[in-house]
Structure 1
């Protein structure tokens, strides 16, 4: 006869097998959901400054501050299996020796109504989220982004300490879908089945401005003083 421990092992093995098959089936349902994300992104204001980009920086270096505008429709990424959506914007350029450089300048997390409790926000904002999610299993309006003259969260630096006058820089929209069950998925450059590649989401190429020298600043300040003097 089998011992109680053997029977317990068999029950646990059967339970884990059923749970695994059910989880695989739930994850596979995402493949049939159409994804058609789109976005338009452009730069508003670009500055290159020399200083300490972070409070823990030990030396001064050049860093770029890029303000941008973004209009994106990511509502198709929200399904009943979507836990939250991680959205971020990168600045990409090719450096010397055809080296690819990419730096995140802004990011945000968009949760589904069923995952609102996971957000680390205040009680007032939480009440508004719960009120907007009443009776909804999916909130597609949360996938609509409209940002104007958005200030970046992170500055762009380079290991060399110099980044001014860098050419052929582009801003690109990225996303990461985090499901309740299944694998993490990122934005794709090519369509796959019902999942379409992001339409747009890349800005025009631009060049970072030159760093203003101390002499030019002194000249500009002197000109401004002369203008304010009365004859």
Structure 2
């Protein structure tokens, strides 16, 4: 006859195997979900742009109209969206600076149509931002309950002002 511990081990193994199969099935269903987010993003204004300790610092505002709700599926826990400024300089081949971010937990939050100020200042390591062509990149990371994380991004061109300003003028 089998002991109680043997039977308990058999039940626990069966439950764990079933749970593992269920998690695998959930992960596979996420592969069929195709997100098609729509967005437009432009630099709305420059609120200050000045040298600061040998580096350039800028506070920007943006106009964004976007619908990231297609990133949500029944397995999506949250969506992390952020705006980064990407540019090249002579001293640094690739520069990426995050200037705004938001955690979204529902499809309603994933629909954005507003003008807003950057949460974080754009600080260049040097004084190379004047007149520089930059890419505004709206990126998002989808965090599912079960399965692998995935991400996407859309890129929009912009140009920094050619002169410093610190009086609150719009650029």
Q: Give the TM-score normalised by structure 1.
A: 0.63
Question: What is aligned with 1:176?
Answer: 141
Please say if residues 69 and 111 of structure 2, whose CA atoms lie closer than 8 Å, have aligned partners that are also in contact. yes
After superposition, the Cα gap between the structure-2 partners of 1:95 and 1:13, relative to the gap in structure 1 and judged at 3 Å, is farther
Residue 65 (structure 1) aligned with residue 59 (structure 2): yes
C-alpha distance in 1 between matches for 2:125 and 2:3: 64
| Cα displacement string for residues 7-43 of structure 1 (whole angstroms, at most 9, x for unaligned residues) | 4333322222211110111122122223111111111
Where do 1:1-231 residues align within 5 Å? 2-46=2-46, 47-51=48-52, 61-96=55-90, 99-112=93-106, 140-148=107-115, 150-160=116-126, 162-165=127-130, 167-187=132-152, 201-211=154-164
CA apart distance, 1:173:
0.7
Task: Count residues with an aligned counterpart.
Answer: 166
**1:29-88 CA distance string (max 9 Å, x none):** 12222311111111111231244xxxxxxx674311111101111121121111111111
TM superposition shift of 1:100 = 1.0
Q: Is the 8 A contact 1:164 1:211 kept in 2?
A: no
**Cα distance in 1, alignment partners of residues 123 and 117 from structure 2:** 16
Note the aligned Cα RMSD (angstroms). Answer: 2.5
Indicate how the Cα distance of structure 1 residues 105 and 179 shifts in structure 2: closer, same or farther if over 3 A, else same: same
* SS of structure 2 residue aligned to 1:95: coil
More strand by share: 2
State which drifts further: 162-171 or 64-73.
Answer: 162-171
> TM-score, normalising length from structure 2?
0.83
The verdict on how the C-alpha distance between 1:170 and 1:7 changes in structure 2, with shifts beyond 3 A counting, is same
Cα offset, 1:91, TM superposition = 0.5
